A and B are shown apart, each in its own frame.
Chain A
Amino acid sequence: MSDSLFERIGGAPAVEAAVDVFYRRILADPLISHFFDDTDMDAQRSKQKAFLTMAFGGPNEYTGKDLSDAHRDLVRRGMNDSHFDAVAGHLQATLEELGVPEAETGEVMTIAGGTRDAVLCR
């Protein structure tokens, strides 16, 4: 098992397959959709894609500070742990829908979970 998580999970094509499923689930969830209701869906999709690439262990230049900067306005608008949990739930469901094995799913969820404090600006 020397391959990286990103390679095992299928690399960029896996991100591409996941992004529509993930973004659609989020937009359809009334608890969180208003945080993602950017009128520019292409820009929003790019953000989801960047996030998934990071969570899949792929090449990215995210820092904790970037994540905090990107979410500060949302935290001001009331985003909290319950919303983070909802997004994490959609990520897990997306991976299941795409048939990602349990071990890899666990690794992705660990990476995503590790961003909680940065995303919530703590």
Chain B
Amino acid sequence: MTDAAKRSRTNPTTVYFSGAPCECAPGETVLDALLRQKPDLAYSCKKGTCLSCILKADGPVPAEAQEGLSPTLAKQGFFLPCLCPPLDGMLIEPAEGKGLFADATIESADQLAAHITRIRLRPNEAFEYEAGQFINMRRDDGLTRSYSLASVPGQDDLLELHIKRLENGIMSNWAADGASVGDAVEIQGPNGSCFYLEGNAGGPLMMIGNGAGLAPLQAIARDALDRGHRGDIHLYHGSRHADGLYMRDELAELASQHANFYYHPCLSGSAVPKGCRRGRAEDVAFGDHQDLKDWHLYLCGYPPMVEAARKTAFLKGASLANILSDAFELRELRIEPRD
């Protein structure tokens, strides 16, 4: 439980969403309270990372509910209800307004691999971002999901997303089957701090990801190479099946162009074709490199893998500040309230 939630434990409070009163139970966040009345509200990580639950308040907002928001957003009253202890009488509105969502148009939708759809978006206005950051994409019915950007500013004209099809994923199935060229969507972002940092051009970089976690990693690698990174860059991409190792040709080509870029496709299933490493990506990576002092790591993919790899990398000597991960989680894996 957060300190904020603890503080609110003793005082029963009422907040107002679009004018309708909502009782908050002791210790509850504003998001959990609102979800009881409006289960359709957008949310995902419930820990202040993905920003998909963002709302707007008219009046005071607890400071912890605006941590990590840009000053522009905070000043307009935007806040994260998942981090927000309820203030009695708080007036809350859906998040609409300048600086939050921007219009974009789908320029292409195609299959990169059996379960991975590539969506390319043209933002209607200039959209500045760092390779490796993520956006929230909102469909016209309000459905919102977080996706990493696979494109690199300066190298790619369009914003590119790699969307893994999840069995019951509403957005991912729509991306694969329903989305058409010319469809309008809205995007919010860029978010996240998982991107290439200047000032370490000679140091080694390790990137570990599985599935569509490749999207931001290959972008960060291309960005680093483009900016003249001189240290070794090792990209470990894992999948259970060979058809999940998408972009193999492009990455092999990149490795042939840059002597300091190493691409390691890894397969954890039983059939391992020539050119692939056997084992899970993180196991192969940590087997290759024992001492990670001075390494910078980028981890993306299935959240339990990311957390475990973070710990392993830390124990192998990497500084926590140098282990960057794409920390948003799949809503489908996070339907229970957080403690």
Contacts and interface: CB of A to CB of B under 8 A. Distances in A.
A, B: real partners: yes
Interface of B: 47, 307, 310-311, 314-315, 317, 319-320
A86 interface: no
A24 interface: yes
A45 B320 contact: yes
B313 to A, nearest CB: 10
Interface of A: 20, 23-24, 27-28, 39-42, 45
Contacts of A41: 307, 310-311, 314, 320
A94 B111 CA distance: 52
Contacts of B319: 20
A42 B314 contact: no
Given A20-B319, A20-B320, A39 B307 contact: yes
A92 B29 CA distance: 40
Contacts of B315: 24, 27-28
Contacts, number: 21
Contacts of A27: 311, 314-315
A40 B47 CA distance: 10
A23 B311 CA distance: 11
B292 to A, nearest CB: 11
Nearest to B307: A39
A27 B315 CA distance: 8
A28 B312 CA distance: 10
Nearest to B323: A41
The 5 closest A-B pairs by CB, nearest first: A39-B307, A20-B319, A45-B320, A28-B315, A41-B310
Contacts of A24: 314-315, 317
Contacts of B310: 41
A42 B311 contact: no
21 contacts: A20-B314, A20-B319, A20-B320, A23-B314, A23-B320, A24-B314, A24-B315, A24-B317, A27-B311, A27-B314, A27-B315, A28-B315, A39-B307, A40-B47, A41-B307, A41-B310, A41-B311, A41-B314, A41-B320, A42-B320, A45-B320
Nearest to B308: A39
A41 B319 CA distance: 12
A20 B320 CA distance: 7
A27 B310 CA distance: 12
A6 B311 CA distance: 30
A28 B310 CA distance: 14
Nearest to B314: A24
A40 B306 CA distance: 11
Contacts of A28: 315
A41 B314 CA distance: 10
Contacts of B317: 24
Nearest to A69: B6
Contacts of A45: 320
Given A20-B314, A41-B307, A41-B314, 10 more contacts: A20-B319, A20-B320, A23-B314, A24-B314, A24-B317, A27-B311, A28-B315, A39-B307, A40-B47, A42-B320
Contacts of B307: 39, 41
B308 to A, nearest CB: 9
A99 B315 CA distance: 21
Nearest to A45: B320
A40 B311 CA distance: 10
B221 to A, nearest CB: 24
A45 B320 CA distance: 9
A106 B46 CA distance: 43
A45 B323 CA distance: 13
A23 B307 CA distance: 16
